[in-house]
Amino acid sequence: MSVKTSIDNYKKAKSIYKEIDDMFYDLEIEKEEETEFTLNQLVNRLSDLRRSLKYINVSELEGNYTPETIDAVKYNTNIFQEALFFWERSFLRAKYTKSLDDPVRLKYIPGLNLSDDEISKWGGSNAQVAKKFIGVIAHPDNVIQYEKAIKRMALGTMTQREFQRIFDVIRHEMPQSKFTSFKQYKKENES
């Protein structure tokens, strides 16, 4: 890579970061509606950001720029990468939460034949169990790990047996699942 390539990609990453940050803020304050189209756009822009960050080589800037400028580029690049990590999980969670509701609530949870004690433990109805399950599987900490399974559930192509295995793995997380927003997730993970 050349210095010019690194500079061009840094400028591109900075521009994409600002665009995504503005859109994310609009979604957080509910200025813009969280539609599937918007979420798909954001996921695509995250790919663009990831691609730009891949071609930034800060060490090539040495000798051409002041140490303060290089430190600022390093710092900003780290911020971009951290934001990419959180945004990717947040946008995927929002995208998949909507598409999982019907299949999980209407097909998979009733197919588990849970006892009344288990159902009451998670809210008293199959719908509440489904809501808790979706909250855990689509949580930013889990969404990447279960992405393929989530897609199969949303399409309804997962077998009940496969769903049972996934449910058994994450059922211990369901009672304490309190995740509601990206802001809360960041606050919980800053400490």
**What pLDDT, in 10s, does the model give residues 85-138?**
888 888 888 888 888 989 999 999 999 998 888 888 877 888 889 988 998 898
Query: 70 and 83 in one domain?
Result: yes
Mean pLDDT of 26-54: 86
Three-state DSSP state, 112: helix
What pTM, to 2 d.p., does this model score?
A: 0.65
Last residue of a domain, one of 90, 113, 135: 90
Residue 109: C-alpha distances to residues 15, 100, 143, 165, 189 (Å): 44, 12, 19, 12, 30
Query: 139 and 127 in one domain?
Result: yes
Query: 48 and 16 in one domain?
Result: yes
Task: Read off the pLDDT band of 185 (50, 70, 90).
Answer: low
The range of the structural domain enclosing residue 156 comes to: 92-190
Query: 134 and 82 in one domain?
Result: no
Q: Tell me how far the alpha carbon of residue 34 is from its chain's centroid.
A: 14
**Amino acid, res. 132:** K
Q: pLDDT > 70: what percent of the chain?
A: 91
What pLDDT is recorded for position 96?
A: 82
Three-state DSSP state, 140: coil
Give the number of C-alpha atoms closer than 13 A to the C-alpha of residue 60, restricted to the C-beta side.
13
What pLDDT is recorded for position 32?
A: 75
Structural domains counted in the chain: 2
Contact 128, 106 (CB under 8 A): no
Task: Read off the pLDDT band of 34 (50, 70, 90).
Answer: confident
| Residues 117-148: b if buried by 16+ CB within 10 A, e if exposed | eebebbeeebebbbbbbbbbbbbbebbeebee
Last residue of a domain, one of 90, 118, 138: 90
Least Cα distance to 114 among 95, 132, 88 occurs for 132
Query: 172 and 126 in one domain?
Result: yes
What pLDDT is recorded for position 142?
A: 87
In degrees and rounded to multiples of 5, residue 65 shows phi and psi of -135, 160
Find the angle CA(25)-CA(31)-CA(37) to the nearest 5 degrees.
Answer: 85
Query: 147 and 71 in one domain?
Result: no
Query: 159 and 99 in one domain?
Result: yes
What is the spatial distance between Cα 156 and Cα 137, in angstroms, rounded to a whole number?
Answer: 16
Query: 185 and 139 in one domain?
Result: yes
